[in-house]
Structure 1
């Protein structure tokens, strides 16, 4: 397994020029995300079938050649379990690989579980055992060790033969177009950004709060997200989610009360006054401006029975297709469907996953019929 380190613009332009002549390229990234809101890109692995390149974006000041490769519609980009990689690319380059296929999704169309790892597939299909001991390494530190570089290179070197095998099997099974659709759906989902004004809806336990308390939680959650974005800091490193909920729940307006509840003293010192000001302002908000109570689907009449009926239909589709039930329609996707029916009046502009693409004919239409 030979590879070259790419640490300057001219070499990057050369490897990207060769890569754009290939029908498909293998891609992967190594990044660090511990305290930051955004993933910090440390290394890019690129394999065009002949040249394996480890690109160091920390020292190259012009990555436009790589951005052009990402956007080249004539070259298929192959990745594995690429949800976070998509976020890395969007943050670093403002775009996602196009067109793209995910081998984890391809494997799911062959009956594998949706979370099947790369090493497990390489073991099964190529009979090669990969060393994954460097998966938690610090990819921003320099120099990178030979062990780290070998580990990173292996992720795209073995991706190529794995992709060839999976492509053949998926095509023979008639799922190739569906695999491309599912990969595109993943790109779309990972591209959705949370609106800071709606960040309160993502706070665990928000549904437990009354409108008066939500009127406090909403501006607090908006402030926390904007602060996280501004400082590139993970949300809980700005202010812990459970503490934010408690402030809204009890309408806290003193730092002593926060200390008594066991909040992080550093967070209180840094943000206490700001939080108290937000709470006091929210408490003066007119009642007609309070957010609506959050309705949970599971509290709707007949939810359990309806969900079970949908789940039974998913099992039938699973038995007929050979696809895992969780891949066909996860609990989240079934709830998305129910929300579409009950809360969105089957809005054609906001179709749930099961009413789009390959899922619609296989499963979605049957689920929809059950709800009539």
Structure 2
């Protein structure tokens, strides 16, 4: 298992075939204000790749964009809504089709309100991850080893969790409902970017 660090783009031959686990680190939680600093990606083989973008980046990243936009490759996220918005706003691609472990968790783990990545990894896989670096400065000139380890852990477990969650969704008869939610997520992200992040357009209000 290795963590590879890249500047501005992913090497052309970095990833094997199949679904890709994806996560992002930004300067904050407001997509249009807080720039994309880092994107983590893994093919599930045991290696994680971190792609960092400079403050003045033009986000060209042709190799990374090609794999993110590939309609034949499912992208696995935990809280896909945020990552999809950051990727679309800064990289200009729709990183779909989607599987979101957070939404899957909410649909099948109805016995708890703990749907964070740390809780999910612990229950489903019996592993521990640290969230200590979650709110650190991802735009700093140098990213620490602790930040790299944290970033890599955000994509390290998604493939295995997806398999478990799919089985639970099937067991509870909610796989079709989950897929409909996943299919809507790129549109939900675009609504966030367009200014409807705090409004439920489906409500009666």
TM-score tier after normalising by the smaller chain length: 0.7 to 0.9
Are 1:124 and 2:119 matched, yes or no?
A: no
Whether the aligned pair in 1 keeps the contact of 2:105 and 2:165 (CA below 8 Å) is yes
Report how many aligned residue pairs link the two structures.
197
Match of 2:66 among 61, 65, 68: 68
Cα gap change, 1:35 to 1:104, in 2 (>3 Å) = closer
Partner of 1:77: 75
* Structure 1 residues 39 and 84, CA gap change in structure 2 (3 angstroms): farther
Please give the residue correspondences for 1:101-180 in structure 2 after superposition, counting only pairs within 5 Å.
101-112=99-110, 116-180=115-179
**1:254-293 Cα deviation digits (max 9, x unpaired):** xxxxxxxxxxxxxxxxxxxxxxxxxxxxxxxxxxxxxxxx
Any conservation in 1 of the 2:59–2:90 contact (CA below 8 Å)? Answer: no
Gap regions ≥5 residues in structure 1? 196-201, 203-331, 340-372
Larger Rg: 1
1:212-361 matched pairs, under 5 angstroms: 336=203, 338=204
Which TM-score applies when normalising by structure 1? 0.48
Give the superposition deviation at 1:89: 0.7
Query: How far is 1:118 from its partner?
Result: 0.7
CA distance in 2, matches of 1:177, 1:44: 29
Question: Which one has the bigger strand percentage?
Answer: 2
Does the 8 Å contact 1:104/1:114 carry over to 2?
Answer: no
Question: Which blocks of at least 5 consecutive residues in structure 2 are unaligned?
Answer: none
Instruction: Determine which of 95, 98, 101 is the counterpart of 1:97.
Output: 95
1:145-167 deviations in Å (ceiling 9; x for gaps): 10100011011112222122112
1:215-244 CA distance string (max 9 Å, x none): xxxxxxxxxxxxxxxxxxxxxxxxxxxxxx
If the length of structure 2 is used for normalisation, what is the TM-score?
0.84
Root-mean-square deviation (CA), in Å? Answer: 2.5
- Which residue number corresponds to residue 206 of structure 1? none
1:6 aligned partner: 6
Q: Does the CA-based 8 Å contact 1:12-1:55 persist in structure 2?
A: no
CA distance in 2: counterparts of 1:111 and 1:184, whole angstroms: 21
Q: Write 1 or 2 for the structure with the bigger share of helix.
A: 1
With over 3 angstroms needed to count, the CA separation of the structure-2 counterparts of 1:62 and 1:187, relative to structure 1, is closer
Partner of 2:22: 27
Judging changes above 3 Å, is the alpha-carbon distance between structure 1 residues 48 and 34 closer, same or farther for their aligned structure 2 residues? closer
How far the C-alpha of 1:179 sits from its partner, in A, is 1.2
Q: Deviations over 1:177-212 (max 9, x none)?
A: 2212112223212212139xxxxxx8xxxxxxxxxx
Describe the shift of the 1:115–1:90 C-alpha distance in structure 2 as closer, same or farther (beyond 3 A).
farther
Distance 1:162 1:42, change over 3 A: same
Structure with more contact order per residue of length (Cα contacts < 8 Å, sep ≥ 6):
2
Change (3 A) 1:99 1:115: farther
In the aligned structure 2, how far is the partner of 1:36 from the partner of 1:81?
A: 14
